[in-house]
């Protein structure tokens, strides 16, 4: 697939079919992630792949299975969202956090080594490892798109990361930035409308 077609086709999907993903394809996708820029040139990233549904159910146990309309309305109103595209995206995304990961062909947990307290960085350089893993994650999303798969993503909340650590036994010096679900979109998958923009209004030559 042409690179720019991949860029334009990539979407976050939260509705997956029951189709599995073969390990060879999954390795290609992860290898693409490993080729992303890294802060220290060492690519000290690891990935835990979970395909067994029973194991996935255990992994996502701390994520709420359902959310009421009242709770959803409270959350979106508390965020004071003004943009209609943004509101529709969150209204679709928030109730599906558990189900989208459960139904994915696999869950991928990327891990990076964080030497300093991520929530209390001394300076921007303290966030280099965190920034690098997100370059890796973007490569994974694009590679999955090129292989005709789609991805979804959840940032761990509250005690989720430590629970996942206890389940997967990854070392204390490693952190998980997110859960990644990979799979084939279902026939009725929702494709959220992308926010329109003008590239001419976003590029500033020599000065703002």
Residue ranges covered by each domain of the chain:
3-186
Q: Give the fold, CATH level 3, of 3-186.
A: NADH Oxidase (3.40.109)
Mean pLDDT for 116-132 is 91
CA 128 to chain centre: 18
pLDDT per position as a tens digit, 146-174: 999 999 999 999 999 999 999 999 999 99
**Phi and psi for 48 in degrees, rounded to 5?**
-105, 125
Whole-number Å distance between alpha carbons of 166 and 175: 12
- pLDDT-derived band of residue 61, with 50, 70 and 90 as boundaries? very high
Nearest 5°: the CA angle 106, 111, 117 is: 145
Say yes or no to pLDDT of 194 above 90.
no
User: Average pLDDT, whole number, for the chain?
Assistant: 95
Per-residue pLDDT, 1: 83
Count of C-beta atoms within a 10 Å radius of residue 110 = 22
Q: What distances in angstroms separate CA 174 from CA 59, 93, 161, 182, one per listed residue? A: 17, 27, 11, 22
- Rounded to 10 degrees, the C-alpha dihedral 3/8/9/10 comes to 90
Q: Which two tokens stand for residue 41?
A: 């040139």
Per cent of the chain over pLDDT 70 is 100
Per-residue pLDDT, 117: 87
Count of C-beta atoms within a 10 Å radius of residue 200 = 6
Per-residue pLDDT, 59: 98
CB 36, CB 135: distance < 8 Å: yes
Q: What is the number of helices (H) and of strands (E) in the chain? A: 8, 5
Whole-number Å distance between alpha carbons of 63 and 101: 10
Nearest 5°: the CA angle 107, 141, 201 is: 140
pLDDT per position as a tens digit, 63-122: 999 999 999 999 999 999 999 999 999 999 999 999 999 999 999 999 999 888 888 999
Residues forming a β-bridge with 181:
107, 152
Whole-number Å distance between alpha carbons of 9 and 116: 37
Whole-number Å distance between alpha carbons of 194 and 196: 6
Mean pLDDT for 13-28 is 97
């Amino acid at each position: 697939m042409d690179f720019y077609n991949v860029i334009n086709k990539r979407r976050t999907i939260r509705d997956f079919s029951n189709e599995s993903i073969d390990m060879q394809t999954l390795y290609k996708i992860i290898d693409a992630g490993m080729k992303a820029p890294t802060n220290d040139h060492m690519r000290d990233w690891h990935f835990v792949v979970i395909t067994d549904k029973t194991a996935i159910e255990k992994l996502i146990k701390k994520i709420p299975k359902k959310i009421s309309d009242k709770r959803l309305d409270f959350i979106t109103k508390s965020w004071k969202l003004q943009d209609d595209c943004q509101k529709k995206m969150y209204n679709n995304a928030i109730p599906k956090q558990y189900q989208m990961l459960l139904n994915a062909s696999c869950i991928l947990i990327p891990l990076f080594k964080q030497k300093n307290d991520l929530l209390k960085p001394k300076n921007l350089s303290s966030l280099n490892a965190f920034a690098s893993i997100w370059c890796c994650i973007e490569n994974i999303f694009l590679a999955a798109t090129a292989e005709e798969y789609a991805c979804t993503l959840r940032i761990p909340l509250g005690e989720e990361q430590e629970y996942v650590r206890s389940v997967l036994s990854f070392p204390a010096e490693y952190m998980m930035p997110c859960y990644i679900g990979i799979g084939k979109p279902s026939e009725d998958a929702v494709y959220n409308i992308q926010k329109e923009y003008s590239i001419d209004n976003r590029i500033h030559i020599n000065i703002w």
